[in-house]
A and B are shown apart, each in its own frame.
Chain A
Amino acid sequence: MDFEDTPEEAAFRKQVATWLKANAPKDAGQGMFRAELNEKESLKIAKAWQAKKAAAGYAKITWPKEFGGMGGTGIQNVIYSQEEAKLSLPGGFFDIGLGMCIPTVMAHGKPEHLARYVKPALYGEEIWCQLFSEPAAGSDLAGIRTRAERDGDDWIINGQKIWTSGAHYCDFGILVTRSDPTVPKHKGLTFFFLDMKSPGVEVKPIKQLSGGANFNEVFFSNVRIPDSQRLGAVGDGWKVSLTTLMNERLAIGGGGGALGTNELIELAKSITFPDGQPAIKNSAVRERLADWYVQGQGLKYTRFRSLTALSKGQTPGPENSIGKAVSAQRGQEYTAFAMEMMDMGGIIYDQDIAPMHAGFQNGWLFAPAMRIAGGTDEILKNIIAERVLGLPGEIRVDKDIPYNQSPGVK
């Protein structure tokens, strides 16, 4: 048992580090300053960087060489991510496209689609988004309502998607629609990709409870999509959607970003409680710090167990599924507790006044999203119960009746 790279891994890490040193932008590594960049500036830097990575094979390490990848292993991918993360480069713009959309096109598209779309996506020239969730269908994705109606060689799309990350700067999107409302819900779906600049597509940012706008609503008014852009057979949209969802990348790169237990301990040392002692000497504070630290360690070493499996060329075990269910709730709790320690002042959100640039307040305000996005806490626990523990699936009262006669559907 150890935490060391194998000789092959160490050699790859060295190769990556050397390449990054020679090729990364000169001012990389100044994380905090880069976070100040606006999205447009970040996107420009990210696109240039993506092109460089793609040319060297690092943009998709696990893809076969014929698609511009490196033909590498899962652990090499993790090693690259770890090394690149040290440079705090603007990123994330291509994750959905290359992690979910393009793999779906690869699995269900025609050879000419692959020839046309894979390379520009890999090089960051074209960015893709995923048009799945709707106002009335989130956890129950198969309940979507956006209509697709056949019109000659085209389909006409009407409806609305929501929570679409990056829709405002994306060039293409993958889209799941309802093409037949008279059959049970999983059977009446059809899957497409489309040009986001098609007439009738309207993207609107969603103002979140945190005040920011990280996601969009996308409206479709008589949008025409050629039938040649259909992925999978008519009525097979659910099957195609599952390919997309199965390609969600292994979230084992490693936390980072938000304030963690170390900052919480520093805060507890710096605040004086009414008894004149630092907060960290208070037994209620100590008990909770211990709980959150231990949970954090548990997540970290669970990731290490998954990495070990990857390193051995195996698929990580089911333990990898606990990550978000634990971390999202934990984050909401400890950020709230940090404010509790600040007493009345905890409510202050001014980053010039609140400790650590209001990082805890900021984390708390965004925490509800973490418990919902990418699978709610409740759905994740269902997944653990069903796929890991083998417990029965939910009873689905709408499974075998026509979609348009299902409860709750107008």
Chain B
Amino acid sequence: MSTTTASAESKNLIEGKTGHWEVVIGLEVHAQVLSKSKLFSGAAIAFGAEPNSQVSLVDAAMPGMLPVINGFCVEQAVRTGLGLKAQINMRSVFDRKNYFYPDLPQGYQISQFTQPIVGRGELVLDLPGGESRTVGITRLHLEQDAGKSIHDQDPQLTFIDLNRSGTALMEIVSEPDMRSAEEAAAYLKKLRSILRYLGTCDGNMDEGSLRADVNVSVRKPGAPFGTRCEIKNVNSIRFVQQAVEYEARRQIELIEEGGTVKQQTRLFDANRGETRAMRTKEEAHDYRYFPDPDLLPLELEPDFVARIKATLPELPDEKKARFMKDYGLTAYDAGVLVAERASADYFEAAAKGRDGKSAANWIMGDLFAVLNKTGVGIEQSPVSAEALGGMLDLLKDGTISGRIAKDVFVAMVETGKPAKVIVEEKGLKQITDTGPIEAAADKVIADNPKQVATYKGGNQNLIGWFVGQVMKATGGKANPGVVNEILKKKLAE
């Protein structure tokens, strides 16, 4: 078992009554595989279908039914493993995990216990301060999802829908390497991003295609690991962060008051922002794992793995490094842009042959603001990357000023017209001819003797006010740099 090699980072420590505590977090993420059909049956997977309409006899565990594995789900698991720089196990085994629950029709889940398809890997956390930290991934295995139990439709009954039963899941287990709620959130964010880049999971936490079980324990720095509690099925990154914060506090308070942390499974109550113990009986689960006799061991061909490796897309970390190197972006900016492949592609299209930093600023500032406000994704952006690029060109060659560009951008969003057309139609070309600027400057100086006197009296900062006045007089179209120069010259006379 790995422990963090660096000494506990003081900024992550939590202060309790008896001193500082370190929180240790591991995440087990269940990611629904993007595929057309289920892991061991040919039924469809789609969110929101009529109850029990995407259920085959195999999924319903009818007598005599047998599993047949979906080769594409195997491919997606290998692809994910490669994306996590993990070891691919050429031979893996499916085991039955036996327990009783109404949404588990077989009375067992087909999973992988001792010999999973993917072994050790790693993932880089992008932390808020701009630093990165690499954490370990223990393993990834394939398993069946269960159906859905709906408890709130009737006071006496639980309703069971088996549509989800048998859907392929990748269970991705991290090493217990995270040391703060932020790190846990960063892990989930990066993992989700990688899965979306690979196309192996859509990462829609609100639809349940990505769920996290969060393992939390606390200890005094340098002490052995404490007893951990598992918070099951947390379905948003924000909730993961809240759950970690609450649970760490809970455990610290419990220990400081003389109690001991009981190993238990808990649920996160999003309404209250608290975790609570599940009400199942306190027996430890005995899953009686054994190799599924209806299946043979899964053997992968080297070609199969090589082909997948050869067609891996450029992943967020590599793309981020390339953006920093080729476009001179900061780690932070590059990180924001590569979080989603669509925004990274947008950036590259807009920045091609142009100033990357400028493109990045416009995208992360004005464009994202518009998209967030209208709740639209970058794929549906009213301003295309090419269009944005066109506007950047006008900025670069001085046709418009930065101030005017803001207005042009707004007009582009509203009308969908290219920047050049808008500038023409509205006559927004930047005034660089000194003639009109000189004239405007003269007028401002003439009209404001008091300010002139103050400026000449030593208040050099007032130049800003003068520039503002000239800009106003020219309808914002004057080149501010030129205005500044001319004013300075005139005021110095």
Our verdict on whether A and B bind, yes or no, reads no
B interface residue numbers (CB < 8 A to A): none
